[in-house]
Amino acid sequence: MNAAPAPEAVPPAARFDTLVTRALAEDPHRYTRDRLIAEVDAGRHDGLLLRAAAGLGGLPKAEERRAAITTIDYAFERLVLPNLSLEQAQGYCAALEKTVRMSEASGLDRPGPIWLDTVHHTVLVSALFQFAANLRQVRPCDRVVLLHDDSQPDPRFEIVSALMAHLLGIALVRQPLRGPWFRDLATTSTPHTLIVSLADMPPARARRRPMRCELHAAGGIRLTVAVENGSAAFARRLGANHLVLDYPDADRIRLAPFQTERPPACPLVDWVFWPRLVAMPAVA
């Protein structure tokens, strides 16, 4: 298994996701998406794709292409989803269960608020809605708190917020990780609160003992990356039931109690941050 240094080391100008975002910002139409895919197929961006990353030269070409198209579609989604009706958005979220199955679900029996760590899989929005819908079937839940450090709200979460309120009677609240955020969270949390923490953020600063995220791909490729995650301490202080929702296989979701020795897993080609790994040297 290879280990990669902190993903933030790659300059934004050298990343495929940045190129895609800029192209769609300049010309936000379907034909821009199709043009970007054609450029990938023509080899125009080979130096920014996964096989150019250290230790990933053995990744099948088809998997590299899938990762590139997934990144393009993930960015294009930001333009499309806000225009969907609630019925269309519900169908979009429900489609997740046709391709990814919940193979393990444990830890929901403990009382108290739930602190849920998850990762930046490209199906994150759908997974969050489907998890909340399934959670309501086994225990009360009236509030989902999404911890984030984004200054610009992702429109995908706006449509999920509307879906949760309309179909589930659940309020989705965005909690910025600024100021006395933990005090505010502790004050408002109840046994019926679900707290969602994205546990695979690239480190904002050097850490002596960084947490890890495990990435896997076709061909037996596995690597770990350093991530920013202080969830264990915060969940413990809150007295919350600390769970992890991750993706140990390309078609499988796992829900299980948090374990320090088992980092969250995600398919490499579906990890939103994979472009940051390109051109970075692997370390033992």
Over the stretch 170-224, which tens digit does the pLDDT of each residue have? 999 999 888 999 999 999 999 999 999 998 887 665 444 468 899 999 988 999 8
Average pLDDT for 239-257: 94
SS3 215: strand
Where residue 154 falls among pLDDT bands split at 50, 70, 90? confident
pLDDT given at position 132? 94
- Burial degree of 265 (CB within 10 A; 0-12, 13-18, 19+): buried
Percent of the chain with pLDDT over 90: 64
Lowest mean pLDDT among 24-33, 77-86, 133-142, 151-160: 151-160
Q: What is the pTM of this model?
A: 0.88
Answer whether residue 8 shows pLDDT above 70: no
pLDDT given at position 104? 79
279 vs 144, which has greater pLDDT? Answer: 144
- For residue 104, the tally of other CB atoms under 10 A from its CB is 11
CA–CA distance, 6 with 13 (Å, rounded to integer): 17
- Of 31-40, 148-157, 225-234, where does the model show the most confidence? 31-40
What average pLDDT does the chain have? 87
Answer whether residue 52 shows pLDDT above 70: yes
- Burial degree of 115 (CB within 10 A; 0-12, 13-18, 19+): buried
CA–CA distance, 64 with 58 (Å, rounded to integer): 10
pLDDT given at position 279? 54
Answer whether residue 69 shows pLDDT above 90: yes
The DSSP element (H or E) to which 174 belongs, if any, is strand 171-176
Tell me which residue of 86, 217, 227 sits closest to 161, measured CA to CA: 86
Half-sphere exposure of 39 (CA within 13 A, CB side): 18
Where residue 80 falls among pLDDT bands split at 50, 70, 90? confident
CA–CA distance, 272 with 198 (Å, rounded to integer): 12
pLDDT given at position 1? 44
